[in-house]
Structure 1
Amino acid sequence: MSNQTLISLAAPVDGKLLKLDQVKDPVFSQGLMGQGFAIEPSDGKVVAPVSGVVTLVAETKHAFGIRTTDGADVLVHLGIDTVELKGEPFTVSIKQGDHVTAGQAVISVDLKKITDAGKQKTVILAITNSNDILKQFLLSDGDSNITAGQIVAGALIDVVKETKKTAGKGGNYDQLATDIVENVGGKENINSLIHCITRLRFYLKDDKKANDDTIENLPGVISVAKAGGQYQVVIGQAVTDVYDAVIDQIGAQYTNNAATAEAVAETTKAQNMSVWDKIKSGISNFIGVLTASMIPIIGILAGSGILKGILAALTGFKVLSTTSGTYVILNAIGDATFYFLPIILGFTAAKKLSSDPIVLAIVGGIIIYPNLLTLASKASTASTNFLGIPTTLISYTSSVFPIIVAAWLGKYVEKFLKKVIPLYLRSVFIPILEALVLSLVILIGVGPIITAMSKGLSNGLVAIYSFSPTLSGFVLGGVYQTMVIFGLHWGLIPIVINDIATNGHSYINSILSITMVAQGGAVLAVFLKTKNKKLKEVSLAAAVSAFCGVTEPALYGVNLKYKRIFVVASIASALGGALTGFLKVNNYALSGALIGFPAFITPGVGIGSNFYGYLISHYGTLLISVVLVYLFGFTDKMLAKKNDPMNLNVNVA
């Protein structure tokens, strides 16, 4: 029998609150040790995050564990790889078996000693039996400054009466277990042991004490590997039996059932993953990075979008001239965030992907460098070469995908450079060489690929319009915002500009306008349906911005974050695009969405059939999007995902 309770988790130190996936250690960041959070500490005073009994104080003093009366096992890990410091930076005032209360001082840490030793000082908290008891994890906003003892998270857990577990017997694997334990440095060198579907995963105090060659040559052992702070002995299908035999010899106190279950689940999933599953996982990971990188700037993006919409309306009604000083200054304020988006995203994405944020911001600056943009803007100079390598320059202002690719590659490039450049030269040469390599990857590799794909897609979509405006509207309406995400929409922009410049109108731009309304309608539906106060604020601002012609806040702040919303919004957009194509709605200026309605008034004719077609298509799309997302695209249950920072405003029943 079990019942549920909500326990509070206090910050163990002063500092900056981080999500667990921001930790630069895969064992913790991937949740292998359980759900939790991390803090970049600003002070060395460590307090107990919960009340309970101390179950562990590491011999090297770098970690301690507390079990609450409700059965939650809470681990606090002080720094990354600080086990190697052999307790030097830590002064401990607790011991195993002590009863502590939340907020009680337990350890003092010399942060300078940790950083001087070249280690990360990040303090990590994890509920190590998350898989067994955790139902929901609630974390307040990351990247915020908090104080020791402040409640920063909550955990909804199952309270289960503890039952004594008898260790399994190792059968015929007792001798192998004895040999493995002896050659990893003995029982005294083991901190803990878990296993996945093929490997024993030891957490050793000193992996240098392990005799790799001897272990690899033991009958029953396939190989040895070291990864993620673990000493891994590859066994194969008999791993569970060998694990039981080892635990029988060293004792059940070295187990971590939650982490073992997590490792088994992860490796089983990875092994059984189909090609399609791997593709879906890759897309999901990409979207996760994309939205996490955008979240810090969603507010300024939404505000800038609204300002740009107001300016579009003022110029549309001839209240402001585009050449006036007032317009130029206000437009610069509204446009700057979008223009310099690669620089901003370079910084935020690098933090998410553990690359160098400053270097990636510089890379963002390089790809939007004015001289390169000038060359890219002219057909005669866009095709150039670098050291004889042909390349096509394009404008990367307001782009997202290329700099995300660079941020992902950054940590690998930096890792390689550290291997080949002497220590005393690294501070000077690594940053500039990394910026050089990543910039060239974008300019020479990503740019031409995007250009070719964009041109191909654009030509195909235009050809479809010539065949059937309705079909073209359906296809373009459905895929355009996805094209925006990957930077493939740029091929359509010159077509739209050319249509307006030469013909005075553009049917294609009418369909692009519809996609903005659909995305805005989706977040408007979220605003109407959610009970989450923070999500309401974000959604309303994103909706207004989208109706003003700027969809980034809607896309990256809400719709992609909760993927089903984006899918349903794209369906609504496809239907609206088909309606626009069927009515042959025309656009007479580079403006659109709801705020850009003057661009649909036919010059010399005034309000007539085209404008009525605009009203029917755009407000019809708005209605379709709101209704579909409200009914099928969103529910507050989608906020119940682990580590969603918006969860704290949702009532937990």
Structure 2
Amino acid sequence: MVKQTVNLLSPAAGEVIALEKTSDPIFSKGVMGQGFGLIPTNGNVVAPVSGRISMIADTNHAIGITTDDGLEVLVHMGIDTVSLKGEPFNIKINNGDTITAGQAIATMNLDQVKAKNLDTTIMVLITNSNDKIDGLDITEGDSEAGQVVATAYLKVQEAANTSDKKLSHHDLATFIIKNVGGKDNVNNVIHCITRLRFYLKDESKANTEVLKNQRGILDVMKASGQYQVVIGNEVEAVFDEVVKQLGDLGDNPTPEPVDDGKNPISRGFGNLIGFITGSMSPVVGVIAASGIIKGLLALLTLPQLGSLLNVNSVPYITVSAIADSAFFFLPVIVGFSAAKRLNSDPIIAAVIGGVLTYPQIITWGKGLKTMFSLGGWHFQFLNYSYSIFPMILAAWLAAKSEKWLKKHLPSYLQMIFVPLITILVVSAITLVITGPVIQGLANGIAVLINWLVSASGWIGGLFIGGFYQLLVIFGLHWGVVPLVAQQIAGTGQSALNAIICSTMISQGAAVLAVAIKSKKADMKELGIAAAVSAFCGVTEPAIYGVNLRYKKVFASGCIGSAVGGLITGLMHGTMFGFTGGLIGFSSFFNPKNPTDLSSFYAFLIASAASIIVAFIVTWVWGYNDNMQKGQKVEKKKRPGTI
């Protein structure tokens, strides 16, 4: 196993000497730890390592730095200079500051030190050497400030000692930062529903195997410039701790897509899919929540429950507005999200989305009012509320427009004219050309998919139910999300999503069987948490944490979902909302016809069948505690750059 190393820089210009050659016996005998000395030729002192300032002596003659690797590095300016009470020293940093190697941290007046007949040698010591390093290589001789003059070899930490220990969110964040290469290796970090997504400066510095084997981390993947650490349900809490510990990363932009060696067409298609799904990913939770509210409203209007709410009542209309707002203003939300993904101005994109959802534009769109005619062509307004794809293209056009204008306009004109020109031009292009074309194609595709799934009946249900979760393994399931959203936006329902719902439930039932059957405490804890997540529509913790590592468990879940999909297809079940899993039951109520419970009955029967089949197959065939746990599955690169 290759040992990790940390480079130490010369703290100033001068001559590097071995520790035993220094004049102070405490330092020279290594009592304070391994290190080296520097006889300075000037008094400009820089940090020998990156890290956090952990100590500044009252007399300013010594500074302590703690690195991300846990090294405690002491920069001691001069020998016995504590007696000077800080007079020759000017400190340029504050306690608690995060610094980078080579950054100026102090100045030292060499003449004042020499005037007191004191040694000016600057000591650089690793005070916790015994615990943290196996050795230190030093290059003696003349050196410039900031030049690498020593290499510390970190002790190898045995993963087995800590991998099964449950860490707090704070400790897990510390562990992750350390093993992605430290703070200095992180350019940016974001998160989605289950994953921390790091943009690293050098992925080779990350300890992938150590991360994979740590309890609390389900998997590690690399995809088009991202280093993804799969956490599961607790990702937000861990993300918050990671951000706290990383501190201010500045306005580092999301890196551009990397050249993965593919041909331009393949790479372009992958980046397109990545852009679309990346724009939709932050919106999914809002759409799901809105769908649940709409389903619950439909439930409360059922005559079988005594029509607890009247569709014309103020409470119903108010809550319905709350639920509908996310769908009605979807172009605004998607535009904002897409612009963030493109590192362009999200406010400009949101305003363009506002143009598409402006009440008068919507009224004209519903009536197909003619904007103008050109020869035999009649350009009409369309209704863009509930739409997705026209706004995604509009956000991309806006980003290109902003970039071009900022390059060609003087800086004093940019604040006003970049948004002015971008909003006018892109809005006009979207309303006249790209919007009608894309909206027509998107609605046509959504209708076609719904028809194919409905027409195929049990065949489509069996096939999709049995194999859909394979898409999750390869990260391709995100490509289905915009299609389902477009189906619901365009037609008000999605038969495809109804089948997908069974696949989530069955994987949850499979991992629940493992949790109940297993006598291992950590397996019970992980299995129950993963089952809850899957029943709530997020299967990644179940799949990566347990099911794929015991492949029969995953297969058992697929058998259960194939049965559920077959039943859904036979009963022609469909969903009127976005949320899947058991928590999405309300999405099977038809808000336009609350008395029609056919899809809800299909959901109940298919869900029961999925749970029973997946649970029994897992219990009897799929899992026992004597099985050898497999390695975590290495996913293929997810298409695009999200």
Shorter-chain TM-score range: 0.3 to 0.5
Give the TM-score, by structure 1 length.
0.46
State TM-score, norm by structure 2.
0.46
